[in-house]
Structure 1
Amino acid sequence: MRFTRTSKALGIVAIAALALTGCGAGGGSNNGGGDAAGDPNKIITAYSNEPQNPLLPADTGEVYGGRVVELLFEGLTVYNPNGESENALAESIESPDGQNYTIKVKSGTKFTNGEEVTAKSFVDAWNFAALSTNAQTNSSFFESIEGYDAVSAVKKQGETEVPAPTAETLSGLVLKDDYTIEVKLSQPEADWPLRLGYSAFMPLPSEAIKDPKAFGENPIGNGPYKMAKEGAWQHDSQIELVKNPDYKGSREAKNGGVTFKFYTDPAPAYTDIQGNNLDVTDVLPTNALKTYTTDFPENHLNKPYAGNSTLNIPGYLKEFQGEAGKLRRQAISMAIDREEITKVIYSGTRIPANDFTSPSVGGYNDNVAGSEVTKFDAAKAKEAWDKANEISPWPANKVLQLAYNTDGGNKEWIDAVANNLKNNLGIKAEGQAFAKFAELLDLRKSKTLPGLARAGWQADYPSLYNFLGPLLGTGASSNYEGYSNPEFDKLLKEGLGAKSTDDANAKFTQAQEILFQDLPNIPLWYAARQVVWSENVANVDTGWNGVIQYYNITAK
């Protein structure tokens, strides 16, 4: 069989049902200005917060850094608003067998420093990202390429020390000429090209490899925007981007730039939108979920997207280890009244989750074996908790802390979950607040949280695997809580190597059955994106993954 990558959807499914079950406004949008051309030179201001890491594509794994990186860089492919993958800098991506790929890179495109984007720009960037000594957050996205084990250093189950890499480059990644890359995967994976639009696979200019620290502060990309000036990243304040006049891709900017303003609380941002002092925000204070459609009758949208929310339980907490730990995980899940929280706190803009993925992605299964633990049952929850105490008593007077970030508007639902746990399990529970999402991520990454942590996932590419592998595979990029199960890893690998999408999704469903036995994360609800904007702008919308299409926003 011959695989050719041009334009093909491999994941997104109809989401009308999700919209009709409570996502307001029919899950649709109101762009508040239609086809207004606006002022193409005006700078748009948008809600954000301090990125966790320097702005290197392979070191950016959270939303606030991601929204900047995605505007600064363009890769081999790009995802259109419907989640379909289309060639961008790739002339072609071909494979005779799903394991050996030949990628032709378009000639004539440049980084904003004038350096041409060539095949070497990708090969060097991928090797840099995969090499464990470079400590890039998204290094595990290259695990499918032959030779990854030699350049990575992942501490696997039973190992006491992290092994050193035995190679500096991926053996399956070969630079053939200025515009040709050959890639050999460790096994056939017909949907591997689908990942190439994610930021981890972006190209880098040569100076990024020479001095990644300096580059991360003032990145040079090839996307629709560029950094406004040296020092455009004013830490804990804002990041200023301006239009890249040389960009000719499908995301050409319709405004003069985007300045991301940093907030640690969505309430002041909401007020700023009302006063036309901020142009757009995708994070609303919880109390505004009841009023945003009337506060902004012409300037709001509400759309489901490929994302979810979970409550993560660190594997290093002794109270959640062994048989007693499994019972406690089940008890916590059954003690949470998802229906009430999504109705009362979220005003129906969320849907209770019954799996670890999203209904917005192809292959979603609403009846995974073991998913009954996501159903609210106070009696069964208390019974499981008491059984756990018979095995290993919960420490007297211990307070179960639930870590969350205030810049994401999470306090109200965290308080509701804490009350559920107190009332239904008879324990002390409370929220642990952090002003910045980056602070919470750093503690999760260093494995120093004293309790549980709220987490959310916005899909990188439209696939069930993206909700499982990067989050829960052994040593994966976003597996901060350190979960590891060899059988789960085995099913993920078998799914990636399946001959059809249906066969792959069947394996991923089996993998979820193991997750419901172990419950490393507790599924809470599926995501929908609410956005409001000022009277100064129009043509606001989000894509398949809930990200605002900043490049399409026009100034009135």
Structure 2
Amino acid sequence: MVIAAWGVPQNPFVPGDTYDSYGIKVVDSILTGLLTYDPRTSAPVYENAASISTTDQQHFTIRLKPDWTFSDGSPVTAASYVDAWNYTALATNRQINSGYFGYIQGYAAVAPASGRPTATTLSGLKVVDSTTFTVALTQKFSTWPQTLGEFIFDPLPASFFKDPSAWEKHPVGDGPYRIASYTPKQEVVLTPYAGYKGLQKPQNDGIDFKAYTDPNAAYADLLSGRLDIDDTLPLGELDNVSKDLHGRYIDRPSASLSRLAFPLYAKGWDTAGSAEVRQGISMAIDRPLIIDKILHGTMTPATDWTAPGVSGYDPGLCGSYCTYDPVRARQLIAAGGGLPGGSITISYNADGGNQPWVDAVCNSINNVLGDDRACTGKPVGTFAELRDQVTARRMTGPFRDSWDEDYPLAQDFLQPSFTSGGGSNDSGYRNSGYDSLVDRANAASGTAATDRLYQQAEKQLAADMPVIPLWYENSVAGYSAAVSDVAMDSFRMPVYYAVRK
């Protein structure tokens, strides 16, 4: 059994209600959908899908490979997808990822901006037969098939819809692993699913995810041999880890962006002038110095809202707002009316080793403003608790945020997080001009045209600054002498199924 560091997820392992990396690790292990992504290149790879075809980039026919089953023996059918997507989309089910289905016809009826739904299923989804279903989008979306490897689009068995609460206690999936035992907030043990039909065949006899609330405790267990894989390495040990582990250390670039998000729905952040304040805060952050002194060179200063390696990435779209400039920072903050209430706090999850860089960001802001009380860190116990506050719209000031690539398209970074009603729009940002650019980008014919429109959309983000780009993150992990074939994918996740012990 491979023992891996883990943390407390916000919600149980329902695809539509999973957001954080801890939950995603389990969902990706127990469920497999239409596509997956090559862990080295991020290229889409057909899994349960036999074909995804279209003649107009708006109406799609999806055919499944036959004979796939869930771990309870029930078949994976077209209805397994259609029912799961309808469940996630329906507003009354309160699924955090509902917005990902916004481009399917009928979404406005099942998830209206206000009031009760007038339908319970998406009109754009139709089951043709047991292995075929069709999807009608509200507009042309040329790259939509490439998004379908995202776990949000995974199927669910009939048993889920009979009793979702019971399924959450004993999840059933069609992925490479099945859940053997689950102790909330402590541990989840996975064992290989013998009936798995996909490409990600487990090379081990299971994964034991152990929850840690302190990265230092996980690192101590790694050094002592009680832990096999640790991708939560404490910042203070990054200079020592390669020596401590005799080279059993991974540090590779990934398409991930660390961000500082703002609650635009909260008092002081909901005014027109607050955009200048946010731009000034961004310019008050000395990214290169923090990366060098605190993050030990494992990050790269961010200059846009996507990441290197993503189609559409164009360095410098943030412009001068992502460049350290104390004089201009003070001018912008003053022009915007000053920090709301005279000071800010940056909320972060204390179980993720974030305190050193949050303190460094605040120190940078304080030095620029000449006020040691202008910015302070605000620890929240666990990531799950932080996410509960974020999704409930209870934030009053900036908060730690990040985005890991789901698939290598600018759309992944720029639509869910920033479009009005986007599935991951935690800042509450709304700009109709931005929404229009995203719609036009998705409908564009050809990647080059799509990328150009997304780059225009990023310039609007620079003007409004709902979220500050901080740095592009590397994938870092250490592993014990008891395991081999350990690798990190481009999504900052260990490739668990490939690990041998």
The interval holding the TM-score normalised by the smaller chain is over 0.9
Partner of 2:175: 223
| 1:95 and 2:44 correspond | no
Opposite residue 254 of structure 1, the aligned amino acid is: Q
Partner of 1:233: 182
| 1:172 and 2:116 correspond | no
CA RMSD of aligned residues (A): 1.3
Preserved contact between residue 336 and residue 417 of structure 1 (Cα < 8 Å): yes
Partner of 2:390: 444
Opposite residue 147 of structure 1, the aligned amino acid is: G
| 1:384 and 2:332 correspond | yes
Distance 1:195 1:214 in 2: 29
Please list, as runs of the form range in 1=range in 2, the aligned pairs for 1:488-503 lying within 5 A after superposition.
488-503=434-449
| 1:196 and 2:145 correspond | no
Opposite residue 58 of structure 1, the aligned amino acid is: G
Distance 1:554 1:119 in 2: 34
| 1:258 and 2:207 correspond | yes
Q: Secondary structure at 2:461's aligned position in 1?
A: helix
Partner of 1:25: none
Instruction: Tell me by how many angstroms 1:376 deviates.
Output: 0.1
Counterpart of 2:91 (choices 121, 132, 139) is 132
Partner of 2:192: 243
| 1:72 and 2:30 correspond | yes
Preserved contact between residue 445 and residue 481 of structure 1 (Cα < 8 Å): no
Partner of 2:346: 402
Distance 1:384 1:119 in 2: 54
Q: Secondary structure at 1:538's aligned position in 2?
A: coil
Instruction: Tell me by how many angstroms 1:83 deviates.
Output: 0.6
Opposite residue 75 of structure 1, the aligned amino acid is: G
Partner of 1:37: none
Partner of 1:187: 139
Opposite residue 381 of structure 1, the aligned amino acid is: A
Instruction: Tell me by how many angstroms 1:151 deviates.
Output: 1.1
Distance 2:404 2:169 in 1: 24
Q: Secondary structure at 1:488's aligned position in 2?
A: helix
Superposed CA offset, 1:122-178 (max 9, x none): 111111111111111111111121111111133xxxxxxx22211111111110111
Unaligned 5+ segments in structure 1 are: 1-42, 155-161
Instruction: Tell me by how many angstroms 1:450 deviates.
Output: 2.7
| 1:342 and 2:319 correspond | no
Opposite residue 499 of structure 1, the aligned amino acid is: S
Distance 2:488 2:402 in 1: 17
Q: Secondary structure at 1:422's aligned position in 2?
A: helix
Q: Residues 177 and 271 from structure 1, CA distance in 2 versus in 1: closer, same or farther, beyond 3 angstroms?
A: same
Preserved contact between residue 54 and residue 213 of structure 1 (Cα < 8 Å): no
| 1:303 and 2:303 correspond | no
Please list, as runs of the form range in 1=range in 2, the aligned pairs for 1:447-462 lying within 5 A after superposition.
447-462=393-408
Preserved contact between residue 100 and residue 416 of structure 2 (Cα < 8 Å): yes
Counterpart of 1:142 (choices 65, 90, 101) is 101
Preserved contact between residue 44 and residue 255 of structure 1 (Cα < 8 Å): yes
Partner of 2:302: 353
Opposite residue 30 of structure 2, the aligned amino acid is: L
Q: Secondary structure at 1:450's aligned position in 2?
A: coil
Preserved contact between residue 385 and residue 425 of structure 1 (Cα < 8 Å): no
Instruction: Tell me by how many angstroms 1:205 deviates.
Output: 0.5
Distance 1:181 1:270 in 2: 47
Instruction: Tell me by how many angstroms 1:532 deviates.
Output: 0.1
Q: Secondary structure at 1:320's aligned position in 2?
A: coil
Q: Secondary structure at 1:528's aligned position in 2?
A: strand
Please list, as runs of the form range in 1=range in 2, the aligned pairs for 1:21-60 lying within 5 A after superposition.
43-60=1-18
Q: Residues 56 and 404 from structure 1, CA distance in 2 versus in 1: closer, same or farther, beyond 3 angstroms?
A: same
Superposed CA offset, 1:316-360 (max 9, x none): 232223243122111100000001001111111100001011012
Distance 2:10 2:170 in 1: 15
Distance 2:312 2:150 in 1: 20
Unaligned 5+ segments in structure 2 are: none
Q: Residues 394 and 246 from structure 1, CA distance in 2 versus in 1: closer, same or farther, beyond 3 angstroms?
A: closer
Opposite residue 22 of structure 2, the aligned amino acid is: Y
Please list, as runs of the form range in 1=range in 2, the aligned pairs for 1:495-534 lying within 5 A after superposition.
495-534=441-480
Q: What TM-score do the two structures reach when normalised by structure 2? A: 0.97
Instruction: Tell me by how many angstroms 1:386 deviates.
Output: 2.2
Q: Secondary structure at 1:126's aligned position in 2?
A: helix
Q: Residues 354 and 472 from structure 1, CA distance in 2 versus in 1: closer, same or farther, beyond 3 angstroms?
A: same
Distance 1:270 1:215 in 2: 33
Partner of 1:14: none
Counterpart of 1:371 (choices 298, 319, 322) is 319
Instruction: Tell me by how many angstroms 1:394 deviates.
Output: 4.7
Preserved contact between residue 146 and residue 407 of structure 2 (Cα < 8 Å): yes
Aligned length: 498
Q: Residues 393 and 131 from structure 1, CA distance in 2 versus in 1: closer, same or farther, beyond 3 angstroms?
A: closer
Partner of 1:544: 490
Q: Secondary structure at 1:309's aligned position in 2?
A: strand
Opposite residue 343 of structure 1, the aligned amino acid is: D
Superposed CA offset, 1:187-225 (max 9, x none): 111211111111111111111112112212221000000
Distance 2:214 2:17 in 1: 25
Distance 1:280 1:119 in 2: 36
Preserved contact between residue 55 and residue 217 of structure 1 (Cα < 8 Å): no
Counterpart of 2:362 (choices 418, 423, 430) is 418
Q: Secondary structure at 1:537's aligned position in 2?
A: coil
Opposite residue 251 of structure 1, the aligned amino acid is: Q
Distance 1:183 1:338 in 2: 44
